[in-house]
Amino acid sequence: MKIFCHIPREKWFCDRYGDEYKKHSKHEVSFDTITNETEVIWLLASWCWNQIDPRILSLKKVVCTIHHEVPWKFDETRKTNFMMRDQFVDVYHVPCLKTKQFIAQHTEKPIKVLTYWCNDSLFKAFDKTQSKNKFGVPLDKFIIGSFQRDTEGSDLITPKLEKGPDIFVDYVKKVKESGKDVHVLLNGWRRQYVMAGLKKIDVPFTYIELPEMNDVVQMYSALDLYVVGSRVEGGPQSIIECGMTNTPIVSTDVGIASNFLSSNSIFDYENYSVYFPIEEDRIELSSNIKNYLISKQVPKYDSFFEEVK
């Protein structure tokens, strides 16, 4: 079957995800042209839906992926946009049950939960010393990582609260207070809030704004701990990526966290003590990752699109 996959072309996760699906799917996937033969339009980046002529959307089967919705940002304007798009959508796809529970309050359309896959041909572990040297982080420090944007684009000051940058900084502070000599490794757009917070608690950091994907993969191997402090997520992808690179990780109970992480590695951001994952946590994450490898998960997406057709 022929699928048109609409990606944002923002050099973001959705673009990579679309590329990976095209490479591994048994179906014919296009990013450029909707033809008479196109059977399904996949809105992988739901916010770009209005880039497609509504007359075309009304003639095709439309799958819309909602990665997550932020409840306190779901105002009347956002709700109106959701309902306008909803009239063209046949089926929603979400990566986790939490997203399904939220959007089910606003649509009567079917919602399919299919978790993200793990690209084991891209992500792998590297030597820790070599990785620390490559990115210029101290060999004798405890390296904590965070690879996501944390500041609103409107002013580059306001925290993007759903990503929990305040929680991340607080976690780093508690790790420091536990006696660790901490250094933080950051990448991604708009890290102004976290960098300002780290300066306030006197924690040094290294910031590489937009590294190439191969460098992002190796940056995980420079870490002693990755911290997800988010309040709302569809993923995050970092949980999967830590699993494939053998990187210790702790996370709030967002998105797919409970699919992959041990209960010890999940913390309540309103009341927690720092936790340093042990070997049993790493083994559990690695074991769970195997259930979502790209070779197992892409066929499930293929079958889903066939059902939609």
Q: What is the pLDDT of residue 253?
A: 97
- The Cα 217–Cα 139 span in angstroms is 19
Nearest of 270, 272, 291, 278 to residue 249 by alpha carbon: 278
Ordered alpha helix ranges (H), 105-236: 128-134, 165-177, 192-200, 213-220
Q: Which residues of the chain are under the pLDDT cut of 70?
A: none
Q: Are 115 and 95 in contact (CB under 8 A)?
A: yes
Question: What region does 104 belong to: left with phi over 0, alpha with psi -120 to 50, or beta?
Answer: alpha
The two three-digit tokens of residue 117, written as one number: 């896959």
Instruction: Write out the E strands in the chain.
Output: 2-6, 28-30, 40-43, 61-65, 91-94, 111-113, 142-146, 182-187, 205-208, 225-228, 249-252, 266-267
Helix pair 213-220, 237-245: axis angle to 10 deg: 70
pLDDT of amino acid 9: 87
Strand, helix or coil for residue 140: coil
Is cis: bond before 236, omega within 30 of 0? yes
**Chain centre distance of CA 226:** 14
Please give the pLDDT value at position 155.
Answer: 81
Convert the pLDDT of each residue in 235-265 to its tens digit.
999 999 999 999 999 999 999 999 999 999 9
pLDDT in tens, 80-104: 999 999 999 999 999 999 999 999 9
Q: pTM of the predicted model, to two decimals?
A: 0.95
